[in-house]
Amino acid sequence: MRPLFIAVGWAVLFILLIPEAALAAAEPAALDTGNTAFILICSALVMLMTPGLAMFYGGMVRSKNVLSILMQCLAVMALVSVQWVLLGYTLSFGPDHSLLIGGLDFLGLKGVGMEPLAGSAGIPQAAFAGFQLMFAMITAALISGAVAERMRFSAFVVFTILWTTLVYDPLAHWVWGGGWMARLGIMDFAGGTVVHISSGVSGLVAALVLGKRLGKDQETIRPHHLPMTMLGAGLLWFGWFGFNAGSALAADGVAAQAFLVTNLCAAAGIFSWVGAEWLHHGKPTLFGAASGAIAGLVCITPAAGFVSPMAAVIMGFLVGPICYLAVSKVKDQFGYDDSLDAFGIHGIGGTLGALLTGVFASRSVNPAGFDGLLAGNPEQFMLQVLGVVATYLFAGLVTYLILTVIGRFTELRVTAAEEEFGLDQSLHGEDAYVDTDLSGISQAS
């Protein structure tokens, strides 16, 4: 606990010392067409990550539940898009209140338009709002992996709206909207804490609240379509360039650096995950390679604009075995059923990434960032620890409260009969593989 106290002490000191003037909005910049084009393209890339995630997850569930997980991801795109316009953007990026939440000035995206965003590299605020929307979308969608194959769709819809409003929007404000984490100097380039830890931890809590899938203790539930998972991993990797490079918010050297290290850490993640399982069980698996790529991408996310290529390779080599251990051993030890390892990969990978950002960050890479441990700044590491701990507590607690409240009004989980039957038929009344599923035909008639 002692290091935590020191970090909190530093935090208070920082808040007191930073002069208000430094936080005042800069002069509005002239519109920059290059930067604007870049951010619009990156927004489209990040958007593609959610359907990509749907494929990644879809291949991992059983064939009777594949449509339900795809539907959850698509529903999140619809729900969060509308929520973002109405409320999400202004809570995240509206004028700061007490370093905790954005004000309601941009309610309904009022006044968010073609004018360049103050303090930006000449990009219209509409482009910034669109780019950030895609992040809110994928984050909420990530949670579906933890509750897959058993959560009721209606409960999931209500959960998504409440979660993105009460967990994602405040966190995005804390880190990127001028809230307390930004003020302290906690570094999160593209969403290690905001996106990955928050969704991973919330997924873990949701998995614990919902309980295990039926039959989980009797058998290992196997993925039904790993080629689909591979397709999803490819789409995620592709979209991640927009996620990380775009987080530079300009088509500049930092974006190029972030682009490069993103690819490196994904590649090193494959090496290390496959290496670990090859040593452990004697065979290199495709599923392991796809998982390692995603773990590497998660890990580099908070660090992307701050670390060197060699640091990215080291991060990738570390994240594979650690996430592999989390999903193959730790999960069994504790006995929770995080169906598709939202916590094991995004929670654990995000935590490692956030901490290693505090180790490898260097101002020689990005002068706008801070130095980390290896550059002689151990305080930055303590700040990263503080950011991680705060995100765990906040996301975990609020998720628990949301689920408890929803659970008062409706069942969170499908009935045993519906679960056995498969969510595709029992919740959505459709079948993914009609031609091959004889049992489906007889059951339906």
Partner 1 sequence: MKKIEAVIRPTKLEELKKVLNDMGVRGLTVYNVMGRGLQQEIKHYYRGQEVSIDLFAKVKVEIICPDHWQESIVNGIIATCQTGAIGDGKIFIYPVEEVIRISTGESGNAAL
Give Cα 227 distance to the centre of its chain.
23
Q: Within 255-284, which residues bind partner 1 (CB under 8 A)? A: 277, 280-281, 283
Residue closer to partner 1 (CB basis): 277 or 419: 277
**Contact between 433 and partner 1 (CB under 8 A)?**
no
- Nearest distance, CB of residue 337 and partner 1, angstroms: 11
Residue closer to partner 1 (CB basis): 185 or 275: 275
**Contact between 337 and partner 1 (CB under 8 A)?**
no
Residue closer to partner 1 (CB basis): 147 or 289: 289
Q: Within 221-260, which residues bind partner 1 (CB under 8 A)? A: 222-223
Residue window 171-190: x/- pattern of binding to partner 1, with contact defined by CB under 8 A: --------------------
Total residues contacting partner 1 by CB under 8 A comes to 18
**Contact between 341 and partner 1 (CB under 8 A)?**
yes
**Contact between 327 and partner 1 (CB under 8 A)?**
yes
**Contact between 366 and partner 1 (CB under 8 A)?**
no
| Total residues belonging to the chain | 445
Residue closer to partner 1 (CB basis): 27 or 332: 332
Residue closer to partner 1 (CB basis): 60 or 355: 60
Stretch that binds partner 1, among 78-86, 217-225, 249-257, 379-387 (CB under 8 A): 217-225
Residue closer to partner 1 (CB basis): 220 or 442: 220
Q: Identify whether the C-beta of residue 242 lies closer than 8 Å to the C-beta of residue 44.
A: yes
**Contact between 329 and partner 1 (CB under 8 A)?**
yes
Among 324, 370, 381, 394, binds partner 1 (CB under 8 A): 324
* Rounded distance between C-alpha atoms, residue 362 and residue 368, angstroms: 10
Give Cα 71 distance to the centre of its chain.
19
* HSE toward the beta carbon, residue 405, CA cutoff 13 A: 10
Q: Within 377-416, which residues bind partner 1 (CB under 8 A)? A: none
Residue closer to partner 1 (CB basis): 113 or 227: 227
Among 33, 98, 218, 220, binds partner 1 (CB under 8 A): 220
- Nearest distance, CB of residue 277 and partner 1, angstroms: 6
Residue closer to partner 1 (CB basis): 5 or 334: 334
* Rounded distance between C-alpha atoms, residue 371 and residue 349, angstroms: 21
**Contact between 63 and partner 1 (CB under 8 A)?**
no
Q: Residue 315's CB: how many other CB atoms inside 10 A? A: 27
Residue numbers of the site for partner 1 (CB under 8 A)?
A: 219-220, 222-223, 277, 280-281, 283, 285, 287-288, 291, 324, 327-329, 332, 341
